[in-house]
């Protein structure tokens, strides 16, 4: 029996749009208070997958609670996957997205790993377009702010046997955001976790499964209590550097720039990939390779470590000011020439003040 996906092809359901009455619109929060992920817009997008109908019931409607059976797969076996993207408002008022196809591909890589139905790229992009258009007034215009887009896929079938869910919900919610860290653009303090690990090669680390974040909470909480903003994860050997909680990481040494190679347990970040493009375009000596915390420590002691920074959609380019590894404290962050240059270039491309020489930007209308 062919899989229903094959039977149904990749048909995209038409999207019904049911907007809130203007009198019910929420008040927009002041941009200074945005922070990250605290406010949600007026509408959401959703579509359902069933084996009989394929993708159907695609709609934009007022943001509301959803109703699921308590036996739904997502609550028991963690079939939950998400993405993180941003919509930017340029000075002329137009709205732009950064490399949305990258996120669509990564989302579907994750769906495949979790044995979930893929979301056709057209449905992924059109779903985002329809809800961002409905909530266009939520895209902030202030510098450093954006509308964060959270596409999500969950298994919804009510069944307690351990097997892939036959029913799924794909949805998109929106949250206006400012700075990810409470430090704003100041350098962040990072705790190097030497006990717990987040992911291992062959596991789920290379996809944006909700389970990875559940695995990270305990160490992140511990780090926070010690005054650290995030955790730098090490490999199963407690030496190989992986990534920071929600960012990939780059180390700038005097003679080379290093980011951990994608070994199957690190998320292949869109900003990481874009930074690699930029650095190679600038003819900088950048390497994707295994790098250990001992190497970073030794080279820091020798004065070879110039700067370190994290890359991610939510956190953009974040300077690392301090690394605490066991009893060793590495203070960095005074120099930030390269990370600043990267941040300025990416921001310029996103806001349209610099040429989009890599063809990364998509206007909302073009989706
Ligand atoms: C674990 C993890 N690593 C890296 C990243 C950076 O990925 P991207 O640059 O695609 O936002 C994120 C954020 O999405 C993340 O959650």
Q: Is the C-beta atom of 242 inside 6 A of ligand 1?
A: no
Phi/psi region, residue 294 (left: phi>0; alpha: psi -120 to 50; beta: rest), is: alpha
Cα dist. 332→250, 307, 309, 329 in Å? 13, 6, 10, 10
Domain residues of the chain, as ranges?
Answer: 4-177, 188-351
Q: Is the C-beta atom of 317 inside 6 A of ligand 1?
A: no
Q: What CA–CA distance (Å, rounded) separates 129 from 140?
A: 16
Q: Specify the length of the chain in residues.
A: 367
Q: Is the C-beta atom of 350 inside 6 A of ligand 1?
A: no
SS3 readout for the chain = CCCHHHHHCCCCCCCEECCCCHHHCCCCCCHHHCCCCCCCCCEEEEEEEECCCEEEEEEEEECCCCCCCCCEHHHHHCCEEECCEEEEECCCCCEEEECHHHHHHHHHHHHHHCCCCCCCHHHHHHHHHHHHHHCHHHCCCCCCCEEEEEEEEEECCECCCCCCCCCEEEEEEEEEECCCCCCCCCCEEEEECCCCCCCCCCCCCCCCEHHHHHHHHHHHHHHHHCCCCEEEEECCCCCEEEEECCEEEEEEECCCEEEECCCCCCCCCHHHHHHHHHHHHCCCCEEEECCEHHHHHHHHHCCCEEEEEEEECCCEEEEEEEEEECCEEEECCCCCHHHHHHHHHHHHHHHCCCCCCCCCEEEHHHC
Q: How far is the CA of 86 from the centre of ligand 1 (A)?
A: 13
pLDDT at 7: 43
Q: What CA–CA distance (Å, rounded) separates 122 from 104?
A: 9
Rg from Cα positions in the chain: 21
Q: Is the C-beta atom of 271 inside 6 A of ligand 1?
A: yes
Contact predicate 170/119, CB 8 Å: yes
Nearest residue (by CA) to ligand 1, atom 13, is 246
pLDDT at 185: 72
Return the CATH class of domain 188-351.
alpha beta
pLDDT at 128: 98
pLDDT at 328: 97
Residues whose CB is less than 8 angstroms from the CB of residue 261 and which lie 6 or more positions away in sequence, other chains included? 288, 289, 290
Beta strands at 168-177 and 95-98: parallel, antiparallel or unpaired: unpaired
Nearest residue (by CA) to ligand 1, atom 7, is 269
pLDDT at 334: 82
Q: Is the C-beta atom of 312 inside 6 A of ligand 1?
A: yes
Q: How far is the CA of 23 from the centre of ligand 1 (A)?
A: 37
Q: From the CA of 103, give the closest atom in ligand 1.
A: 10
pLDDT at 121: 97
pLDDT at 4: 45
pLDDT at 10: 61
In terms of pTM, does the model score above 0.85?
yes
Residues whose CB is less than 8 angstroms from the CB of residue 99 and which lie 6 or more positions away in sequence, other chains included? 270, 274, 360, 362
Q: Is the C-beta atom of 231 inside 6 A of ligand 1?
A: no
Q: pLDDT 10s digit of each residue in the chain, 367 long?
A: 334 444 445 678 999 999 999 999 999 999 999 999 999 999 999 999 999 999 999 999 999 999 999 999 999 999 999 999 999 999 999 999 999 999 999 999 999 999 999 999 999 999 999 999 999 999 999 999 999 999 999 999 999 999 999 999 999 999 999 977 666 678 999 999 999 999 999 999 999 999 999 999 999 999 999 999 999 999 999 999 999 999 999 999 999 999 999 999 999 999 999 999 999 999 999 999 999 999 999 999 999 999 999 999 998 999 999 999 999 999 997 889 999 999 999 999 999 999 999 999 999 999 9
Nearest residue (by CA) to ligand 1, atom 5, is 247
Which of 3.40.50.720, 3.30.43.10, 3.30.470.10, 3.40.50.150 would CATH assign to domain 4-177?
3.30.470.10
Which of 359, 362, 320 has its CA nearest to residue 126? Answer: 362
Q: How far is the CA of 289 from the centre of ligand 1 (A)?
A: 18
């Amino acid at each position: 029996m062919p899989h229903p996906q094959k039977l149904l092809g990749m048909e995209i359901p038409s999207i019904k749009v049911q907007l809130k009455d203007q009198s019910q619109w929420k008040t927009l929060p002041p941009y200074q208070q945005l922070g990250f992920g605290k406010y949600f817009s007026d509408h959401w997008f959703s579509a359902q997958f069933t084996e009989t109908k394929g993708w159907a019931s695609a709609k934009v409607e007022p943001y509301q609670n959803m109703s699921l059976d308590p036996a739904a797969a997502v609550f028991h076996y963690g079939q939950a996957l998400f993405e993180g993207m941003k919509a930017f408002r340029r000075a002329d008022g137009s709205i732009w997205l950064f490399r949305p196809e990258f996120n669509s591909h990564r989302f579907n890589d994750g769906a495949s790993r979790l044995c979930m139905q893929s979301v056709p790229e057209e449905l992924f992009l059109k779903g985002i377009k329809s809800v961002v258009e409905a909530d266009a007034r939520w895209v902030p215009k202030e510098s450093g702010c954006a509308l964060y887009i959270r596409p999500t896929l969950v298994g919804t079938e009510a069944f307690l046997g351990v097997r892939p869910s036959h029913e799924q919900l794909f949805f998109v919610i929106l949250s206006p955001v400012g700075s990810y860290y409470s430090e704003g653009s100041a350098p962040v303090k990072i705790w190097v976790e030497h006990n717990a690990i987040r992911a291992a090669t062959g596991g789920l680390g290379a996809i944006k499964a909700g389970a990875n974040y559940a695995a990270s909470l305990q160490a992140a909480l511990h780090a926070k209590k010690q005054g650290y903003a995030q955790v730098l994860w090490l490999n199963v050997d407690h030496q190989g550097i992986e990534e920071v909680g929600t960012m990939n990481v780059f180390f700038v040494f005097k003679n080379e720039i290093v980011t951990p190679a994608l070994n199957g347990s690190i998320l292949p970040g869109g900003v990481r990939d874009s930074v690699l493009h930029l650095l190679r375009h600038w003819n900088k000596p950048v390497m994707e390779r295994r790098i250990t915390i001992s190497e970073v420590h030794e080279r820091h002691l020798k004065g070879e470590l110039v700067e370190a920074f994290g890359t991610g959609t939510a956190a953009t380019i974040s300077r690392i000011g301090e690394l605490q590894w066991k009893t060793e404290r590495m203070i960095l962050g005074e120099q930030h020439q390269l990370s600043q240059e990267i941040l300025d270039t990416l921001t310029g491309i996103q806001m349209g003040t610099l040429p989009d020489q890599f063809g990364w930007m998509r206007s909302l209308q073009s989706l």
